[in-house]
Amino acid sequence: MKTLLRTLLSLSFIVWLGAEIFFPIVAAITFTTLQPDTHTAGTIVGQLIRILHGMGLVSAMVALAVMALAPAWGIYKPRAVLAPMALVVLMIGCTVYSQYGIIPAMERDRIAAGGAIDTANSSDAITAHFNKLHNRSEFVEEAVLLLGLAAVVLMARAETTRV
């Protein structure tokens, strides 16, 4: 059972952080391949980020459940999992903010710009707001990745202080 729980914990971090690491690569390839049609590229990337967030939230629930059960099963000391659990909760908060705050606002800006943000005037207030939100979403995704890496380090440290 201990091996199963450790495996689930590792897989949850692998899935989430792996997706976070490879997402910018997929986005860059999409925009490079569809360079003349940035609207389609943006639509594809928008759908992919929604999938990424869904995967992240499921992975987070698995990780939190395993970390909550781990002390009861004698896998980790209770205090050893508190900081990683807090980091995962912060990751969830960032992901939820991006999914339900930033992305819908970007979609509203895209629609207000006539359906394709790349055809709007770059000095336009709507386009400027869209770009601001896009930069914010990049920052939030970077924060999720860094928090996740810190959680992995703390979980690795917890391995050395097992019960």
pLDDT for the residue numbered 120: 56
pLDDT for the residue numbered 92: 97
Tens digits of residue pLDDT in 111-158: 887 777 765 567 788 888 988 999 999 999 999 999 999 999 999 888
Contact (Cβ atoms closer than 8 angstroms) between residue 53 and residue 95: yes
Quote the distance between the C-alpha of residue 22 and its chain's center: 11
pLDDT for the residue numbered 118: 65
Where exactly are the structural domains of the chain? 2-160
Is the pLDDT higher at 99 or at 74?
Answer: 99
pTM (2 decimals)?
0.87
Lowest pLDDT segment from 15-19, 57-61, 86-90, 130-134: 130-134
